Chain A
Amino acid sequence: MTVESNEYIGMIHSYEIEAGNFTKAGEAASSIKRLLRQLGVDANVIRRVSIAAYEAEMNMVIHSIGGNIQIEISPKAIVFKAVDEGPGIEDVNLAMEEGFSTAKEWARELGFGAGMGLPNIKRCSDEFHIQSEVGQGTYLEAKFIL
């Protein structure tokens, strides 16, 4: 156990995300929503976190080779992190543009690939950070102030 000051109150939940598994897709976002509701987080914040979590989860299911979603909740803020193991985004700036998508035909047929995922996450969050390297993977962090 790490030594924390006695004042610190917070909890961390993490969820493993499988690439291409559509039967489970969206479950992490749903549990996060349930969790926040039980914690009594403001409805407007819950809505924003849910949308961000859902988009990030779907991104990971569709584009990545799998990864992990983590949510840290403290009385002051909610920090959402999505880390995958690849393949990484070639041009992050381009990926942040609305309407840009590299989703393949099969994903588009399922109604994804509108190129709104990342811009949506950014719009919903108070602080947004993304870092990606081809061959390494992507790290996304979204912060919501309470």
Chain B
Amino acid sequence: MQGYYHSVTLDADKCMGCTNCIKRCPTEAIRVRDGKAYIIAERCIDCGECIRVCPYHAKIAVTDPLDAIYDYKYKIALPAPTLYGQFKDLTSIDSVLHGLKLLGFDDVFEVARGADFATEFTKYQIKHTNPKRPIISSSCPAVVRLVQVRFPELISNLADVQSPMEIAAQIAKDNFSREHGVDIEEIGAFFITPCAAKATSIRNPLGTERSSVDGSISILDIYGPLSLVMNKADNSCVTTSLRKSTLKGVGWANSGGEGSSLDIDSYLSVDGIPNVIKVLEEIENGKLSDLDFFEGLACVGGCVGGPLVFENNFVAQNRLRKLISKIEDSEPIAHEEFKMALEKYDWKFNKEILPKPIMRLDDDISSAIKKMEELERIYADLPGLDCGSCGSPSCRALAEDIVRGYTTEFDCIIKLREKIRNLAREFGELSDNLPTGIDRSDTGGLKHED
């Protein structure tokens, strides 16, 4: 495991050892061995596809319990804009934000506001550093990890911008510490998350040494308690508005939200991991040379389709669209405010994003070539059904697993059946070749004269 923490994990008691998840995983990170699924830690990108496809709910995303906020003296909630799309007939974002305070948070800072800053910072970079095109959005952590694993050639295209969650946490903690005169270490910032990959990013950050976020609470876990207090929040005649996000920032929850907020013509937004893979392949082939910005999101519909949401993604997407058209916009980030933020924070990556060459057969190319030849010999001999019964996602993956020494070709039930058929044939041949002294008219063995 090499100490790599993942939010996506297996509840072994619930796993029936079926092959649904192994076939759906975009990085071939799951095997079924000894009747249970097993996630290969170095390969998993926490996209959550397996969580969605598992009929037994054996794949889970680990987040913190709501009580974890009490580990800190001061608690700040960082709600993802996706949260706003969970509630029916929501007329004001403030009722969600005040609701969070009633749940025990001392302050709330919207990740949608973080997104506003991320947008400004990306625009600033496009203008001043002329990054390599197409710029590939780095907001979806599952897509960034997908690039590391499957498209290492495209790492240099990743937008050099920290995620709205990180930006929000940094500003929220600084502001709170300054306004209340408390030590930053005493403040816990908790992301209210629709996303398993983001929960992983808090423990294993992308592009930064240490995350400013201290924990994550899933939307699924907070939905119930929050719905209950939201009515109170509405009735308590709260006059102060906590909301600062612009409608564009809120729009980041839906696919296309980030791309459209950048005010550039040539952007492409794609959601759903198989679709993202297709377009990344096109980019890799040098086919989309006229594209400036690519927003790829692992979940269908964008973050609203995250594995940890309560509401159906299409319904939530529509609610957000309606909410955005109904409520008033906030003031965009003022030029002065952004300039001050630029002086104070460095929102570029401060830790290089490296390729994860997990697909390679060997570090030495000569050995890799030998293994590849062996792999192809084995693969040619396999039935090519890609049935998954062996526990590997495809015949080719099984051949790879054999070459890596993890298993044998008799994990293939077709190969095993062939072997048994040959054995049966040998048995038959043996029984036909009984010594001549024995009566062959009966199968009952030797006959004796009375």
Of B152, B363, B370, the contact of A43 (CB 8 Å cutoff):
B152
Instruction: Answer yes or no: B365 CB below 8 A from chain A CBs.
Output: yes
Of A9, A43, A44, A51, the contact of B286 (CB 8 Å cutoff):
A51
Cα distance A132–B95 in the bound complex, in angstroms: 72
Q: How far is the CB of A51 from chain B (nearest CB, A)?
A: 5
In the complex, are the beta carbons of B284 and A47 less than 8 A apart? yes
Interface-central residue, A11, A35, A40, by most chain B CB under 10 Å: A40
Of A29, A38, A51, A120, the contact of B360 (CB 8 Å cutoff):
A38
Of A37, A40, A54, A73, the contact of B285 (CB 8 Å cutoff):
A54
In the complex, are the beta carbons of B285 and A41 less than 8 A apart? no
Residues of B within 8 A of A51 (CB): 285-286
Mask, B356-377, CB within 8 Å of A = 1, is 0101111111101110110100
Of B286, B355, B357, B364, the contact of A54 (CB 8 Å cutoff):
B286
Of A9, A39, A46, the contact of B153 (CB 8 Å cutoff):
A46
In the complex, are the beta carbons of A40 and B368 less than 8 A apart? yes
Cα distance A29–B360 in the bound complex, in angstroms: 18
In the complex, are the beta carbons of A40 and B363 less than 8 A apart? yes
Closest to B151 in A: A43
Instruction: Answer yes or no: B411 CB below 8 A from chain A CBs.
Output: no
Per the 8 Å Cβ criterion, residues 30-62 of A in contact with B are 30, 33-35, 37-41, 43-44, 46-47, 50-51, 54
Closest to A73 in B: B369
Cα distance A72–B362 in the bound complex, in angstroms: 18
Of A9, A43, A46, A47, the contact of B369 (CB 8 Å cutoff):
A9
Cα distance A120–B285 in the bound complex, in angstroms: 11
In the complex, are the beta carbons of A43 and B365 less than 8 A apart? no
A residues adjacent to B (C-beta < 8 A)? 9-11, 26, 29-30, 33-35, 37-41, 43-44, 46-47, 50-51, 54, 73-75, 120, 146
Given A11-B369, A50-B153, A75-B366, output 6 extra A-B contacts at Cβ < 8 Å: A9-B369, A38-B375, A39-B360, A39-B365, A54-B285, A75-B365
3 shortest A-B CB distances, which residue pairs? A40-B360, A47-B153, A43-B152
